[in-house]
Amino acid sequence: MFPSPMGGVFDVPDKARRCHLPLIALLVLLLGASGDALAHAVAEGDKGYIQEIYGINLISFIYLGAKHMVTGYDHILFLLGVIFFLYRMQHIAIYVSLFALGHSTTMLLGVYFDIGINSYLIDAIIGLSVVYKALDNLGAYQRWFGFQPDTKAATLVFGFFHGFGLSTKIIEYEISPDGLLPNLLAFNVGVEIGQLLALGAILIVMGFWRRTAGFLRHAYTANVANVAMMCAGFMLIGYQLTGLFTA
């Protein structure tokens, strides 16, 4: 059973950030994302749209949640790290569920109780989660400290941080209080759908790669990939911290 019928080239406009692989992420980071424009103080794009609507808009928010996840390279990178050495579908399901549980909890609580964390700071922590997982995959903790930290706990805990990242973004969207809870739940459903789509794409690419002789016989290529991922994580941290101190 290979449950990834969906995913792949879920393409989005050029302004949006898209990627499933570290190298593309690096390029995207360099390009950056465009900001809001001032039209009688009205934002454009997703934020502009959200600021125009009120009441329950389930399908719209499902779409926005899925888009956020699919185009959010930081979440995708962490997900890639988590499933890097998972081969069985039931293992993947457990870890991905833990991640989903983590980020859903803090996302909903964060928005509902309006817990705004500085978005640069939280995104830097998300970058750190990528670095952590890459080091974990490289076996650094066993080598350095002589023990293996619980991978499931780490997935859950970093899931909490990713959720605060999501909630911080949602608070910036200024969703109308009219219909907030249903819309928020719809956004969360969308995030999970987006995660499954991205996961499908990752699994297909990894599937081809894992079949190559090198991947199984020696860990060299896998190590290169994890170092590249760690590099992307460090760049995310630097990018966000620079934002924190200059904005």
Partner 1 sequence: MYNTDMPSRAELPSSRKLIRSTLLAAVAATALMVTVVLPAEYAIDPTGAGRLLGLTEMGEIKEQLAEEAALDRANAESESMQGASVAVTPEVEVNEVTAETTANQTATTAAPVQEETEVPQPDATWRDEVQFTLSPGEGVEYKLTMTEGDVASFAWKSERGAINFDTHGDGGGNAISYEKGRGVPEDEGDLEAAFTGNHGWFFRNRNDSDVTVVLRIDGDYENLKRML
Q: Give the DSSP letter of residue 6.
A: S
What gap in Å lies between CA 169 and CA 158, rounded to an integer?
A: 17
What gap in Å lies between CA 190 and CA 70, rounded to an integer?
A: 10
Binding status of residue 218 toward partner 1 by CB under 8 A: no
Judged by CB under 8 A, the stretch of 24-32, 83-91, 96-104, 119-127 that binds partner 1 is 83-91
On whether the CB atoms of residues 55 and 75 are closer than 8 A, the answer is no
Binding status of residue 87 toward partner 1 by CB under 8 A: yes
Residue among 43, 96, 225, 229 that touches partner 1 (CB under 8 A): 43
Judged by CB under 8 A, the stretch of 5-13, 27-35, 105-113, 236-244 that binds partner 1 is 5-13
Nearer to partner 1, 182 or 210 (CB): 210
Burial category of 130 from C-beta neighbours within 10 Å (exposed 0-12, middle 13-18, buried 19 and up): buried
Binding status of residue 221 toward partner 1 by CB under 8 A: no
Nearer to partner 1, 205 or 231 (CB): 205
- Tokens 């898209």 locate to 18
CB of 45 to partner 1, least distance (A): 6
On whether the CB atoms of residues 79 and 99 are closer than 8 A, the answer is yes
Binding status of residue 97 toward partner 1 by CB under 8 A: no
- Establish how many alpha carbons lie within 13 A of residue 74's alpha carbon, considering only the half-sphere containing its beta carbon: 26
Q: Which of residues 124-153 bind partner 1 (CB under 8 A)?
A: 136-137, 139, 142, 148, 151
One-character DSSP codes across 147-179? S---HHHHHHHHHHHHHHHHHHHHHHHT--STT
Nearer to partner 1, 96 or 235 (CB): 96
Chain residues in the site for partner 1 (CB under 8 A)? 2, 4-13, 37-46, 48-49, 51-55, 57, 59-60, 63, 67, 85-88, 91, 95, 136-137, 139, 142, 148, 151, 176, 178, 200-201, 203-204, 207-208, 210-211, 216, 219, 222
